[in-house]
Amino acid sequence: MVATLDPSEITLHTPNMLQVTLGPTPYRTLSLKLAFPPSYPHVPLAAELKVPEVPLSIHPDLVQKLLAAIENLCRGSLGREQIQPCIDLVRSFVAQSRLAPCYEDIKSIIALGLEVCAKKDKAGTFEVLMSSGEYEVRLHVNVPANYPGERPELTLQQHNLPERLAEGAVRYAQDLAVRLAEPPMLQDDDDDFNRDVTDSNNGGRKGKQNVAGAVQAHASDKKARSLAASFHETKEKARQERRARVENFVPRRSIFPAIESIWADLVLPITTVPCPVCAKRILPAKSSLMDKIPKDMRAERSTLCPHLYHFHCLETYVTNPPFDKGCKVCGEKIKHRKLVTESKALEARWAAQKAREREIADAADLF
Domain 2-97: top CATH class: alpha beta
Q: List phi, psi (to 5°) of 10.
A: -90, 120
Contact 108, 222 (CB under 8 A): no
Contact 56, 100 (CB under 8 A): no
For residues 171 and 108, what is the distance between their CA atoms, to the nearest angstrom?
21
Which residue ranges make up each domain of the chain?
2-97, 102-182+251-258, 190-247, 275-363
Quote the strand ranges of the chain, DSSP E: 10-14, 17-22, 30-35, 46-50, 115-120, 125-132, 135-142, 153-159, 299-301, 308-310
Q: List phi, psi (to 5°) of 322.
A: -75, 150
| H/E segment holding residue 316 | helix 311-318
Contact 152, 144 (CB under 8 A): yes
Q: 183-187: list long-range contacts, CB under 8 Å, 24+ apart.
A: 183/245, 183/246, 183/249, 184/242, 184/245, 184/246, 184/249, 186/242, 186/243, 186/246, 187/239, 187/242
User: CA separation (Å) from 85 to 72, 89, 91, 325?
Assistant: 11, 6, 10, 68
| H/E segment holding residue 91 | helix 83-96
Instruction: Judge if 2-97 and 102-182+251-258 fold alike in CATH terms.
Output: yes
89 contact partners, CB below 8 Å, separation of at least 6: 66, 69, 70, 73
Longest Cα separation, the chain? 117
* CATH of 102-182+251-258 among 3.10.110.10, 3.40.190.290, 2.160.20.10, 1.20.960.40: 3.10.110.10
User: CA separation (Å) from 306 to 59, 135, 232?
Assistant: 32, 18, 39
SS3 content of the chain, % helix, strand, coil (to 5): 45, 15, 40
DSSP state letters, 25-44: SGGG-EEEEEE--TTTTSS-
DSSP state letters, 239-278: HHHHHHHHHT------HHHHHHHHIIIIITHHHHS--TTT
Per-residue pLDDT of the chain (367 residues; tens, 9 = 90+): 444 788 889 999 999 999 999 999 999 999 999 999 999 999 999 999 999 887 788 999 999 999 999 999 999 999 999 999 999 999 999 999 999 999 999 999 999 999 999 999 999 999 999 999 999 999 999 999 999 999 999 999 999 999 988 998 999 999 999 999 998 876 655 444 444 444 444 444 444 455 445 445 555 677 777 787 888 888 888 888 888 888 888 899 999 999 999 999 999 998 889 999 999 999 998 988 888 888 878 888 887 888 999 999 999 999 898 888 899 999 998 888 888 888 888 888 888 888 887 777 777 666 6
Q: What is the pTM of this model?
A: 0.77
What is the chain's length?
367
DSSP code of residue 328 = T
For residues 275 and 272, what is the distance between their CA atoms, to the nearest angstrom?
10
Q: List phi, psi (to 5°) of 262.
A: -65, -40
